Amino acid sequence: MNALRHYAAPRTLLAWSVAYVVLLTAFSVSNRAQQQSADTKTGAPLAQPPAGIVTLIVSVTDSDYNYVSGLTKDNFTITEDKTTREISFFSEQNEPISIGVLFDMSDSMTGIDRGEYDQVKLAVLHLIGHCHPASQVFVADFSNNFRLITDWTDKSQVILAAVKSAGKNDGQQQKLKIGQTALYDGCMSALDILAHATHRKQVLLLITDGEDNHSATTFSELRQRLRASGVLLYTILAIGRRGPSELDIAGQAIVDEMSAVTGGRAFFPRDRTEVEEVAERIAIELQHQYLIGFTPGNRKGDGKWTPIKIKATLPPPFKKSLIVHSRNGYLSPVAAP
């Protein structure tokens, strides 16, 4: 048994009183460079799951929301239709990630002032800076239309410039038509890009208020696509200083369901400090996840959603209960005609 390790949920982030520009520079020249050195020394070749299995990205916390690492496959149980499934693949590595960052820049976000949104951007950069240095990132924004600001890159300066450019048309070949909100269409476009990602672990980081009034895509269609994608969706719901309205409350329910079906999470920060803590929490979670594979029971090729349950337990003499975060099912592959 590997030594169990607990990683505390953040109470605070950095001292954010340093000027915004200085911290952006620190992202590009410090965070990723320092982590590059550490990961180069400790990195190991990635084990590859066999064909024909369902793989799940799994996070485990205790009741105090501390992340638990060092578990083995013997600590997990996966059940499908009351039948325990054999775990045929298990990995716990801080591996490179393919991350899509998607900013909602529509009129419904105007309640967030420039300083608030700059703080969100800075938190996003901090999150990326603490991921594996070989991770690749694309940055996009949307309003009436979807705009790809920069395609896949691991270059810090390119990521920094792209995040700063979100919502701005200066110097951009493709112009963002700011007005209504095509949230579902924007997510579908982001998932199209993630479908061609290099790394097996794929994440979409969405900053939005959850409102949609301009998409051709329905919520049901997006939900089905998210289920099938294997992408982890982390959403930061940006309410800002307006205070929660009926639209905000509806937006919370929408993004909460969108994120939950992927095994990701939706966060609802109320102020700048909580935005910083959310970014730190996501960064820690992405570094301490398990990749677990099992042979599915549904081999009918009917494309239907099959619910599963995942449970994690500590070995004796530990008695603390554990909480598992992951997808709660899988789509059976559709049989070829």
- pLDDT tens-digit series, residues 69-117: 999 999 999 999 999 999 999 999 889 999 999 999 988 776 666 677 8
Predicted local distance difference test score (pLDDT) of residue 11? 41
Every domain of the chain and the residues it spans? 54-94+292-330, 98-287
In 3D space, the residue among 158, 216, 161, 156 whose CA is nearest the CA of residue 186 turns out to be: 216
The pTM (predicted TM-score) of the whole model is 0.86
Token couple for 308 = 């599963």
Q: Please state, in angstroms and as integers, the Cα–Cα distance from residue 304 to each residue in 224, 254, 258, following that order.
A: 10, 22, 18
Confidence band for 254, pLDDT divided at 50, 70 and 90: very high
Picking from 159, 142, 133, 140, the residue whose alpha carbon sits closest to that of residue 101 is 140
Q: Any idea which residue has 């081999």 for tokens? A: 299
Q: Are 295 and 85 in contact (CB under 8 A)?
A: yes
CATH 3.40.50.410 fits 98-287, yes or no: yes
Residues 144, 202: Cα–Cα separation, whole Å: 26
Joined tokens for residue 151: 């395609």
Q: What is the DSSP letter of 45?
A: P
119: nearest Cα among 256, 16, 15, 5: 16
115-118 long-range Cβ contacts below 8 angstroms, 24+ apart: 116/238, 116/240, 116/241, 116/272, 117/167, 117/238, 118/20
Higher pLDDT among residues 5 and 276, named by residue? 276
Burial class (CB in 10 A: 0-12, 13-18, 19+), 48: exposed
